[in-house]
């Protein structure tokens, strides 16, 4: 029998799969790690469980406690899922630009959401940051995970994601590529892979053009979940050998190709990471094995990256359709 006791036991141990089509012309092996197969749909399930475990151990989170975090994305889903299973309440503070679908995922797990105006300065008492700080202070038994600075984020990847990649490639991995948001994934996974390989594995960050990790100032980009305009504590730049900047247009075109040509429906930061990996692979050869972490699935982006009208409205070209009914009837 193969039965998990609870859904939390299904976090991690995500599979690696080889890319075949988008790698045409390259000789290095490119493998992707499918984090959308986590129960909450992203790599963030991993950090959620590690952060909550540590908070329980340290007495920061007690039975009946409340988790308060300003997050609209995958971290919220991970925290909501773990909190639901462990009996904690969750309050997420979201800017009003966050769409209804994303809000509904959080409330589906039983979380409460507080919506704040996007158009106010960070120091304004109504801002996303001010409201979450106030709620964390005023709600009795509140705990704020603070994913950008919580060391348990990178540690979850050091203890699990890195060892999974080493084990599943039989130690043949030579390069690891991941997008950088909080920096937790690349810092923890990269640190483990460097240590276990006597510093032989090369660690490559992928970053949206304009973000600080690749030398920008934080100029806006559309790819979600990656890039920053400040330096989070979860990111250790000494782990990373190189950061490759990728445009929104290239990230989104590759995201569409992964679905159309590889059958892998993932988000824009995954497309971005694959673009960076393929650029690195141009200089590599047959003995090289690149592992690329794909953080989440594509379902959350159907109205954006996978929507022709949305793509056109930002001036991005659409990936060519595989076929049309008209040419099938010919």
Q: Which residues are catalytic?
A: 44
Tokens of 177: 């590529």
Choose between 145 and 225: whose C-beta lies nearer to ligand PMP.
225
In the complex, residue closest to ligand PMP by CB: 225
To the nearest whole angstrom, how small is the minimum distance from the Cβ of residue 37 to ligand PMP? 14
* Largest Cα–Cα separation, the chain: 69
Which H/E stretch holds residue 30?
Answer: strand 29-34
Backbone φ and ψ of 269, nearest 5°: -70, -25
117: region left, alpha or beta (phi > 0 left; psi from -120 to 50 alpha): beta
Q: List strand residue ranges (DSSP E) for 35-125, in order.
A: 66-69, 89-95, 112-116
Choose between 102 and 202: whose C-beta lies nearer to ligand PMP.
102
To the nearest whole angstrom, how small is the minimum distance from the Cβ of residue 157 to ligand PMP? 7
Contacts of residue 238, Cβ cutoff 8 Å, sequence gap at least 6: none
To the nearest whole angstrom, how small is the minimum distance from the Cβ of residue 278 to ligand PMP? 18
Interface positions with ligand PMP (CB under 6 A): 73-74, 179-185, 224-226, 267, 269, 295-296
Contact between 81 and 49 under an 8 Å Cβ cutoff? The reply is no
Choose between 23 and 161: whose C-beta lies nearer to ligand PMP.
161
Q: Please report how many Cα atoms fall inside a 13 Å half-sphere around the Cα of residue 125, on the Cβ side.
A: 0
Choose between 39 and 73: whose C-beta lies nearer to ligand PMP.
73
Pairing of strands 66-69, 89-95: parallel
Choose between 26 and 206: whose C-beta lies nearer to ligand PMP.
206
To the nearest whole angstrom, how small is the minimum distance from the Cβ of residue 267 to ligand PMP? 5
To the nearest whole angstrom, how small is the minimum distance from the Cβ of residue 9 to ligand PMP? 22
CA–CA–CA angle 33, 35, 40 (5° rounding): 170
């Amino acid at each position: 029998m193969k039965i998990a006791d609870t859904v939390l036991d299904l976090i991690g141990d995500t599979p690696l799969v080889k890319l075949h089509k988008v790698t045409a012309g390259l000789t290095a092996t490119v493998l992707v790690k499918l984090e959308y197969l986590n129960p909450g749909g992203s790599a963030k399930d991993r950090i959620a469980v590690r952060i909550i475990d540590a908070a329980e151990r340290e007495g920061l989170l007690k039975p009946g406690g409340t988790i308060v975090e300003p997050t609209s994305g995958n971290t919220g889903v991970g925290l909501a899922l773990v909190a639901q299973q462990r009996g904690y309440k969750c309050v997420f503070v979201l800017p009003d630009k966050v769409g209804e679908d994303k809000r509904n995922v959080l409330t589906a797990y039983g979380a409460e959401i507080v919506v704040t105006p996007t158009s106010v300065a960070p120091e304004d008492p109504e801002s996303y940051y001010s409201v979450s700080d106030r709620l964390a202070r005023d709600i009795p038994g509140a705990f704020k995970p603070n994913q950008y600075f919580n060391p348990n984020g990178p540690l979850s990847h050091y203890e699990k994601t890195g060892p999974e990649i080493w084990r599943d490639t039989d130690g043949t991995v030579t390069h690891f590529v991941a997008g950088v948001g909080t920096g937790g994934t690349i810092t923890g996974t990269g640190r483990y892979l460097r240590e276990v390989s006597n510093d032989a594995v090369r660690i490559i960050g992928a970053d949206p053009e304009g973000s600080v990790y690749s030398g920008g100032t934080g100029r806006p980009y559309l790819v979600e979940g990656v890039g920053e305009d400040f330096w989070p504590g979860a990111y250790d730049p000494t782990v990373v050998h190189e950061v490759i900047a990728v445009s929104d247009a290239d990230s989104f075109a590759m995201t569409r190709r992964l679905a159309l040509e590889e059958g892998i429906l993932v988000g824009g930061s995954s497309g971005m990471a694959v673009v960076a990996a393929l650029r690195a692979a141009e200089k590599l050869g047959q003995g090289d094995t690149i592992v690329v972490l794909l953080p989440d699935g594509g379902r959350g982006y159907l109205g954006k990256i996978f929507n022709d009208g949305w793509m056109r409205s930002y001036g991005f070209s659409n990936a060519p359709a595989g076929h049309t009914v008209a040419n099938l009837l010919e």
